[in-house]
Structure 1
Amino acid sequence: MVTDGTSLWHFMAAWSEIFRSGGQSVSRPPVFKRWVLDGYDPIINLPYNHQDQFIERFENQTFKERFFSFSSTAISKLKATANSECNTRKISSLQAVIALLWRCITRARCLPHDCEITCSLMFSTRARLNPPLSDGYFGNPVHIVGGKATVGDLLAHGLGWAAFRLHEAVINHDDKAIKEEVESWIKCPVIYKRIHLFGANLVRAASSPRFDMYGCEFGLGKALAVRSGCTNKCDGKITMHPGREGGGSMDVEVCLLPEYMKNIQSDQELMSYLMID
């Protein structure tokens, strides 16, 4: 909770640079000056009387993890399809990939068609604040936004329809929305637990294929693969990583209950894109 992915990989890059330069200073030092909403004390008193009110003990859950690799060609086709269906050029590659997985995971869960589902994604607020924060800001300035739809609507419409829901959620979360959300939290602070972040009708995307995960060198050569630990995972969590070969490829870690993972591995829409080289 101390840092987001941007700060984590900034730290890893700096550490690697120190190793490669023989201990010299880093070329892009982190920025530790705190951003505070105007008019508010940076010291927040949490409304808890006992640690059990905010500490959540780890519970081992049974779910399956699998990585799906999308080539740059497949991603280009996904992005082109999503934008063509919406007659726009605004949908990003990341939004197109997440939209595809939102549809496929929903299909794998076999939920009722009138059930409402949400696909949420975390993104850095650095560039969206006015004035913007530095890329080197060391902290955790991320917010969660999401697109909502019923199962029936999501599966009846195409990829572009789903991707545009995500696109709208992102662009609407501007400087005003960010500051209003921060102010709301300051007035009623809470420590979020897993129960707030995950749910049976939720798909949540995190991390980013833009992070330079394979650029960190510590004398062992280029990493063979990127993997993550057991925290912050639950049914419906997808974690985005860059593909090892670069060029816009992506590796996506998907966590699902065993029965859902079995279903998604035979999803024709998903497999049709995974087979594109």
Structure 2
Amino acid sequence: MAMVELLTTELVVPAEETPAGAVWLSNLDLAARRGYTPTVYFYRTNNQPEFFEADAVKDSLARALVAFYPLAGRLGLDAATGRVQIDCTGEGAVFVTARSEYALDELLNEFVPCDEMRNLLVPATPAPNPPCPLLFAQVTRLRCGGVVLGLAVHHSVVDARSAAHFVETWASIARGGGGDAPLPPCFDHRLLSARPPATRAVLYDHPEYKLEPAPEHAVAAGSTYASAIITLSESQVSALKARCTGASTFRAVVALVWQCACRARSLPANAETRLFSMVDMRARLAPPLPPGYFGNAVIRTSALATVGEVVGNPVGYAARRALAATSQGDDYARSLVDYLEGVDAMNLPRSGISRAHLRAISWMGMSLHDSEFGWGAPVFMGPALMYYSGFVYVMQAPGKEGAVALALSLEPESMPEFRKVFAEEVARLHTI
């Protein structure tokens, strides 16, 4: 594996004076994984001298931080309550430049989300506890002239959609779109406050936020995993959706992954398997959150079935079960926020998941075109690592209209069989 040489590390502060004070964080922010989410964007050179020139990138970042000023602050604590918050100090985001002997095509051939790639392409981050920076960025120039933009954003302050909102604004400014955010961010996290005690109502169980009983086959966070990136063509996605009547692309793809993972893991038919998911509640609340809501507005959900039910039925069955994990509305979200008010939301169980389970996350709404900084859209965007086995991200495949890319992690002993079973099932889509 080629190495990366770090060249410079500095703080980029907002280009103008920004508001001070603190941003209150909601229970959904506190319940998010306490840590940084590392992502990578790969760009092919357009052979222009100014291609990802460091000063231009830093200048556009500084201007983006004017509108998104909390990202230039630090994670802090409320002095009276000890509750985690954002201190809007304006100290800046960490910006790193680096170079590597990789060529872009070599990197694309080798890349899978893993610790080694994260360490090469995304800045090192401190312990994710107050006080710590919230945004790290690294521009790594490759041997061929291409560039990798690696980001690490603190999950306590953003979910995937908010992170994409920031990157899209930064890219728009870099393209010459001025200093204003195309969609102004909203930092009013009290829109997701718990209801007053007299009207608080926990109407659902919310097992996804509770410590799971010790499973027979536990997989600890940070344990060894094998990861892969697998692409489904537009015609394969269409054929799959035809077998999952009414299912979205995300649910249909996840249903097939769930089936194949159960088979590859050689689980007994009577074992319980849970499909965990994350649901963006912005448009599902009543009233909906503002379009530019900037924070964590996703909730963990899940669907439970036996392995026999998942593998013994057509894939449409698993898609219907997946629907049960992704169809919650306002009453469910408000119940969860009220539930979190009554527990220690900052110290919820955040371990790995059982070897029988799967955690699926949709990044389908993250447009590659919107991450174009003026020198061409990225040829790949995805997570830089997986946290443990059983993770799957569903994303748009770059440069292929209607195609889908999966970033997947499984136990090392299960991955070869998964690849085999998955390829067989995809081949059968057009033959049945």
TM-score by length of 2: 0.55
User: What letter is aligned with 1:104?
Assistant: C
CA deviations 1:244-274 (Å, max 9, x no partner) are: 1253221010101111101111115444279
Q: Distance in 2 between matches of 1:180 and 1:194?
A: 20
1:60 deviation in Å? 4.6
Q: Which residue number corresponds to residue 225 of structure 2?
A: 63
In 2, Cα distance between equivalents of 1:64 and 1:161: 27
- Residue 229 (structure 1) shift: 2.0
Letter in 2 for 1:70: L
Counterpart CA distance in 1 for 2:377 and 2:264 is 35
* Equivalent of 1:108 in 264, 283, 307: 264
SS state of the match for residue 127, structure 1?
coil
Q: How many residues align?
A: 250
Whether the aligned pair in 2 keeps the contact of 1:209 and 1:243 (CA below 8 Å) is no
Instruction: State the structure with more CA Rg.
Output: 2
Contact 2:269 2:307 in 1 (8 A): yes
> Residue 392 of structure 2: which of 238, 251, 254 is its match?
238
The one of 165, 172, 181 equivalent to 1:10 is: 165
Q: 1:37 aligns with which of 184, 194, 217?
A: 194
Q: Deviations over 1:107-128 (max 9, x none)?
A: 1000111100011111111111
Amino acid of the structure 2 residue aligned with 1:256? L
Within a 5 Å distance, the mapping from 1:1-277 to structure 2 comes to 1=155, 2-21=157-176, 23-34=178-189, 35=191, 36-39=193-196, 60-83=222-245, 89=246, 91-171=247-327, 173-190=328-345, 191-195=347-351, 198-230=353-385, 233-267=387-421, 268-272=423-427
Using the TM superposition, name which of 266-275 and 110-119 deviates more: 266-275
Consecutive aligned runs of 4 or more in structure 1 exceeding 4 Å deviation:
273-276
SS at match of 2:269: coil
Q: 1:186-225: per-residue Cα shift (whole Å, max 9, x none)?
A: 0112333431x52222100113212113431224422121
- Is the deviation greater in 266-275 or in 248-257? 266-275
Indicate the structure with greater strand content: 2
Q: Which one has the bigger helix percentage?
A: 1
Deviations 1:115-159 (A, max 9, x none): 000111111111111111122100001111122111111111110
Q: CA RMSD in A?
A: 2.2
**SS of alignment partner, residue 175 of structure 2:** helix
1:206 and 1:217 mapped to 2: Cα distance?
Answer: 23
CA distance in structure 1 between the partners assigned to 2:324 and 2:411 by the alignment: 29
180 and 80 in structure 1: CA distance in 2 versus 1, 3 angstrom threshold:
same
User: Does the CA contact (< 8 Å) of 1:214 and 1:244 recur in 2?
Assistant: no
Q: Is the 8 A contact 1:128 1:174 kept in 2?
A: yes
CA distance in 2: counterparts of 1:123 and 1:130, whole angstroms: 15
Distance (whole Å) between structure 2 residues aligned to residue 33 and residue 212 of structure 1: 25
**Matches of 1:273 and 1:243 in 2, distance apart?**
21
| TM-superposed deviation, 1:29 | 1.3
Q: TM-score, normalised by structure 1?
A: 0.83
Question: Cα offset for 1:59?
Answer: 6.9
C-alpha distance in 1 between matches for 2:174 and 2:429: 37
Q: Which secondary structure state, in structure 2, belongs to the residue aligned with residue 147 of structure 1? A: strand
1:61 CA displacement = 2.8
Judged with a 3 Å threshold, the aligned counterparts in structure 2 of structure 1 residues 211 and 60 are, in CA distance, closer, same or farther, namely same
In the superposition, relative to structure 1, how do residues 274 and 61 fare at CA in structure 2: closer, same or farther (>3 Å)?
A: farther
Quote the Cα distance in structure 2 between the aligned partners of 1:193 and 1:17: 38
Q: What's the CA shift for 1:226? A: 1.7
- Give 2:148's aligned residue: none
Gap runs ≥5 in structure 2:
1-154, 198-219
